[in-house]
């Protein structure tokens, strides 16, 4: 919100993806629903974030690109956070992968997070921030000795009514959608995930309408 030059900068006047917004920001269908697309060097978007607890947060990004030198740079309250994040080249702009983008320190309260495009033509689905135990992997394939809850949330991105029926997407660690299912609440996510996939492995599970992302290890 806020308009060009205030909350975003896009180098053309049209939404080339034609999705979600009616301004110049280019949004495409892809990833977990919608993604920023048709990006060019120097374009940026700003977001207001409300940090509940001060600390160091791990950052990961879901992206897709066939470009060799594309990435993003983060700013918090107009101060750059480390170096630019350069994404590994992928197969195309439809195959999304998750990339570890380092760490950022937040103080509690409201901040302005700025995402600036480096290079050209990278689609960005979402950023995730995690802290402490939420950043830990929860079980690995073949690790039957793990007693930790394998539906540990690694980040909360939206508020969700967990008493309502929701459709969840199951994604491989490369960002590819491999299955989906409908569930009420979160108690049976592990069992539902295991029923919906054919192979052992670690999967990311998240509702299509927005909510927490869960990393779930499945042993067949």
What does the pLDDT read at residue 210?
A: 59
115/153 same-domain check: no
Same-domain status, 25 and 109: yes
3 falls within a domain: no
Q: How far is CA 189 from CA 139, 201, 209, in A?
A: 15, 15, 16
Check residue 142 and give its pLDDT: 30
Pair (12, 116) in one structural domain? yes
What's the whole-number mean pLDDT along residues 126-141? 61
pLDDT given for residue 117 in this prediction: 97
Domain boundary among 82, 98, 131: 131
170: closest CA among 184, 183, 157? Answer: 183
Region of poorest pLDDT, from 80-84, 159-163, 199-203: 159-163
Q: Is the pLDDT of residue 158 over 50?
A: no
73 lies in the same domain as 173? no
**CA 112 remoteness from chain centre:** 18
Q: Of 101, 131, 161, which residue is a domain's last?
A: 131
CA angle 195-200-123, nearest 5°? 90
Between these two residues, 168 and 154, which has the higher pLDDT value? 168
Total count of domains within the chain = 2
The per-residue pLDDT for 112 is 95
What pTM value is reported for the model? 0.62
Give the domain range for residue 142: 136-218
Residue 150 pLDDT: 28
Query: Are 28 and 89 members of one domain?
Result: yes
Q: Which helix (H) or strand (E) holds 195?
A: helix 189-196
Give the least confident one: 1-15, 148-162, 167-181: 148-162
pLDDT level of residue 79 (50, 70, 90 thresholds): very high
Query: 154 and 182: one domain?
Result: yes
pLDDT at 149 over 80: no
Residues 12 and 98 in one domain: yes
Q: Which of 69, 96, 131 lies at the terminal end of a domain, its last residue? A: 131
**Per-residue confidence band for 135, with pLDDT thresholds at 50, 70 and 90:** low
What value does the mean pLDDT take over residues 118-139? Answer: 76
Same domain as 109, residue 160: no
């Amino acid at each position: 919100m806020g308009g060009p030059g205030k909350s975003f900068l896009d180098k053309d006047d049209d939404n080339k993806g034609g999705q979600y917004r009616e301004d110049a920001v280019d949004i495409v269908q892809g990833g977990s629903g919608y993604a920023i697309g048709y990006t060019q060097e120097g374009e940026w978007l700003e977001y207001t974030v409300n940090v509940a607890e001060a600390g160091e947060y791990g950052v990961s990004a879901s992206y897709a690109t066939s470009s060799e030198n594309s990435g993003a740079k983060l700013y918090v309250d107009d101060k750059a956070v480390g170096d630019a994040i350069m994404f590994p080249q992928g197969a195309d702009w439809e195959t999304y992968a998750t990339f570890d983008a380092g760490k950022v320190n937040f103080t509690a309260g409201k901040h302005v997070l700025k995402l600036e495009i480096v290079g050209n033509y990278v689609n960005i689905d979402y950023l995730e921030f995690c802290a402490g135990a939420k950043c830990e992997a929860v079980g690995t394939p073949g690790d039957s000795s793990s007693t930790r809850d394998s539906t540990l949330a690694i980040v909360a991105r939206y508020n969700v009514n967990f008493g309502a029926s929701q459709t969840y997407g199951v994604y491989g660690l490369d960002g590819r959608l491999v299955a989906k299912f409908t569930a009420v609440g979160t108690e049976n996510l592990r069992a539902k995930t295991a029923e919906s996939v054919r192979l052992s492995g670690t999967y990311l599970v998240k509702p299509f309408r927005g909510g927490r992302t869960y990393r779930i290890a499945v042993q067949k």
